[in-house]
Every structure is written in structure tokens, then in C-alpha cells.
Amino acid sequence: MPSLNLVPASTSDYRRLAEKRLPRNLFDYIDGGAYGEKTLNANVADFEKIQMQQCVMRDVSNIDTELKLLGEDLALPLALAPIGLAGMMARRAEVQAVRAAEKAGIPFCLSTVSICSLEEVAAAATKPFWFQLYMMRDRGYVKDLLSRAKAAGCKTLVFTVDLAVVGARYRDVRNGMAGGLSGLGKLRAALEYPTHPGWLVDVAIKGKPHTFGNLADFVPSAKSLVDFKAWVDAQFDPSCTWQDIEWLRSIWDGNLIIKGILNSEDAQDAVAAGADALVVSNHGGRQLDGVSSTIKMTPRIRDAVGNKTTIIMDGGVRNGQDIVKALANGAHSVMIGRPWVWALAALGEAGLDALLRTFKAEMDVSMALTGAPTLADISDD
């Protein structure tokens, strides 16, 4: 485990630093997964099982990781995934993240349930960022939100479809997120704040307001994050089907990415419904525990929809080598969730800048030593 005095070299170093910096319940919220966390662990373990093929004596003096994705020029096939409540882990985290993503030449995706609003992020951004949507029962609210996203300059909508109901996360239950803490438990939880003074000053005090930025106008009566969360949970629409994509298309004329696909049939339905791209995702192992890892399903989904459909995958990507493995298995690009929040929580924007530089450097080395100087050279050999 790295000491605080050493330079973090890898995603797991940032994770350890974030663990030291954050109160227990916040670290567990970000780090944990659904139920026994089998899928969460499989996402990472299945990447580790894939071996690369060393390949020598090719001209690898110029490594090119650039690509065009949905009309955007990217420096590497990577995006920052939507993360709800990120602004509780680092001060105005979504603003720091959009700036870091721009510097790295990759997209940032803002969650519906972010702390910073669309407008706050737009004020910090110099080019379009992506916006993620959950389908709410109140379609008027959805329409309004999409108008705001458009006004904020978003051209790409990521519609998340794997949260019809919310999976239980044991760590959150244990931390009393749904209540039930004993008197001693409450005392222990309260002591987490003064024992994490860095987070307390920087985020809890200087990082206010702590409301769901995009929803504040809709639920003015909610006094706390717990009230807000209860409102949001009650608003998710479990009756949503592929037919709703048609309606979504009628009010959104930008790119539409469907996130949360984990089987071939759903992938084909998403393409038939008019998705411009899909994200092979199991919500980072936070929803249905026991389902397959995403890297395992990616080649099957690619085979089901063909190479013409843009496939993004997420879940378990922890370094630049994983990006190369994902591309070799049929993805065009990947997203990272927890790693970007760990880096911001650990060392702020400079931490995320450094992590993204590390991903790029790891990708360069992996491509060079597998004899694949361009993305098109990456294959499943």
C-alpha cells in the first residue's frame, strides 16, 4: 500500500489515497457494488485474465491512439463515465472532471444526479460534454432537462437503461444509508467527519452546495440529500421500454448512446431502436449481482451487431492496457467510472490529470510492445 508520501503510480494507488481521505460511507458508496460484489470483482478479474501477445521488430516509432467517435475527435478511446453524487467526493468534482477530460482530449459525461448542474459544468467547459439521462416518470421533467442539456451545449445523450429498479448495495446498508444505525453506530458515523479533516474542509465546507444540481428546481421542498435521493428513486420509471426511445428521439436530435446493454438481443434491439452507439455495461457491478463481466460479453455483442455499430464498454477498466484489451475484444472505446472519482478524491484535478496521462502512456507502451502502432492494428490475436 503506498504511503501518502509516495507518488501514486496506478489506479489502485489513487483508490488507497481516496480511502484515507474520504469518510467511510462515502468511500464505500463509490467503491462498492451490489450484494456479494461478484460481478464487480469479475469486471476487474476478467480483464486480468486476458493475456497480451508480445510482438517485436515492428516500426512502433509513432503510436497513434486518436480516433473519431460520434463526430468528435478524441486523443484516445476513453471517456469519463457518469457518476452520481461525485461532488460529494471532491470539491465541485464534476467541474474539475470536465476540465481534466478536456485537457486529456476525451469526453466527460455528466450524470442526471450530479452535484454540479448542467449550467455550472457548461460554464467551466470550452466544448460540448455528454449528458446522461435516467427515464423519470414525469416526462415533462425529462423534456425540460433535455432542453437544458441542449442549451448547455451537449450534443451527445447517454440514456441509461439498466436501472429500472435499484440493486441493493450491502456496504451502503451497513453504513446506515437506509437507516437502522444503533446509537453507537450513529456516533461512529458522526466521528468519521472530524477524523477526515481534509475532506471536511475542502468538500463538506468549501464544496457547497450539496444538492442534486440538475434537480434542485424540481424538488425545492427536499431539504437534504436523503430527501432528494428518495425523490429520485421514486421517479425512476420501471415501465420504460424500447418504445420510449421513439419519444426520446422526437425530443432529442443529437447523438443517442444507450448504456447498460449486456446481452446480444438487447444490443440488436438498441440498434433497431435507433441508437447511434451502445455501452456494454452492468453499471459497474452495482445492479444485478451474478451477471457476466462486461469484457466477457463485449465480443459476443460485437458479433451480434456487427462492426458498424459503435460499441463502448465500461466496468473494470483500470489502466491503459485494459483499453487495448477492450479494443481487441470488439469495443471502439471504453469509459471509466470509479478510477476518475478516486483520483479526484485523492489529489483533485492534478490527480485526475496525472491518472489520465498514465492511461495514455500505458496504452502507448501496450500498443508498441504488441506491434500495433494504430488502433486499427489492435486485434484479438
Ligand X SMILES: Cc1cc2nc3c(=O)[nH]c(=O)nc-3n(C[C@H](O)[C@H](O)[C@H](O)COP(=O)(O)O)c2cc1C
Comparison of 8 and 285: residue with beta carbon closer to ligand X: 285
- 283 is a catalytic site residue: yes
**What φ, ψ does residue 332 adopt, rounded to 5°?**
-95, -25
Min dist CB 57 to ligand X, Å, is 35
According to DSSP H, which parts of the chain are helical? 11-21, 24-31, 38-49, 93-104, 118-124, 139-151, 170-174, 183-191, 197-199, 225-235, 243-251, 264-272, 294-305, 320-328, 338-369
**What φ, ψ does residue 315 adopt, rounded to 5°?**
110, 105
Min dist CB 335 to ligand X, Å, is 6
Q: Note whether 338 binds ligand X by CB under 6 A.
A: yes
Residue 132 and residue 163: Cα distance in Å, rounded?
Answer: 13
Residue choice 65, 117, 281, 309 for contact with ligand X (CB under 6 A): 281
Min dist CB 269 to ligand X, Å, is 19
Considering only the stretches 19-27, 146-154, 243-251, 313-321, report the one whose residues sit in contact with ligand X under the rule CB under 6 A: 313-321
Catalytic pick among 196, 210, 283, 332: 283
Residue choice 11, 39, 111, 358 for contact with ligand X (CB under 6 A): 111
Q: Classify strands 109-110 and 130-133 as parallel, antiparallel or unpaired.
A: parallel
Cell numbers describing residue 249:
428521439
Inter-residue contact 333 to 67 (CB < 8 Å)? yes
Nearest to ligand X by Cβ — which residue?
A: 337
Q: Note whether 82 binds ligand X by CB under 6 A.
A: yes
CB atoms within 10 A of CB 48: 13
Residue choice 34, 69, 74, 83 for contact with ligand X (CB under 6 A): 83
Residue of 286, 315, 321 lying closest to 301 (CA atoms): 315
Comparison of 24 and 369: residue with beta carbon closer to ligand X: 24
Comparison of 74 and 78: residue with beta carbon closer to ligand X: 78
Question: Which of positions 27-66 make contact with ligand X (CB under 6 A)?
Answer: 29-30, 43
Min dist CB 265 to ligand X, Å, is 20
Q: Give SS3 for 256.
A: strand
Comparison of 167 and 176: residue with beta carbon closer to ligand X: 167
Q: Note whether 94 binds ligand X by CB under 6 A.
A: no
Min dist CB 131 to ligand X, Å, is 11
Residue 9 and residue 219: Cα distance in Å, rounded?
Answer: 42
Residue choice 110, 336, 346, 352 for contact with ligand X (CB under 6 A): 336
Residue of 341, 281, 277 lying closest to 309 (CA atoms): 277
Residue 349 and residue 96: Cα distance in Å, rounded?
Answer: 6
Question: Which of positions 117-136 make contact with ligand X (CB under 6 A)?
Answer: 132
Min dist CB 262 to ligand X, Å, is 11
Q: Classify strands 130-133 and 333-336 as parallel, antiparallel or unpaired.
A: unpaired
CB atoms within 10 A of CB 330: 20
Comparison of 287 and 309: residue with beta carbon closer to ligand X: 287
Residues listed for the chain: 381
Question: Which of positions 141-180 make contact with ligand X (CB under 6 A)?
Answer: 160
Inter-residue contact 172 to 271 (CB < 8 Å)? no
| Identity at 373, one-letter amino acid code | P
Encoded one letter per residue, x for contact with ligand X by CB under 6 A and - for no contact, window 208-237 reads ------------------------------
Comparison of 163 and 328: residue with beta carbon closer to ligand X: 163
Min dist CB 160 to ligand X, Å, is 4
Q: Active-site residues: which are they? A: 283
Which residues are near ligand X by CB under 6 A? 29-30, 43, 81-84, 111, 113, 132, 160, 259, 281, 283-284, 286, 314-317, 336-338
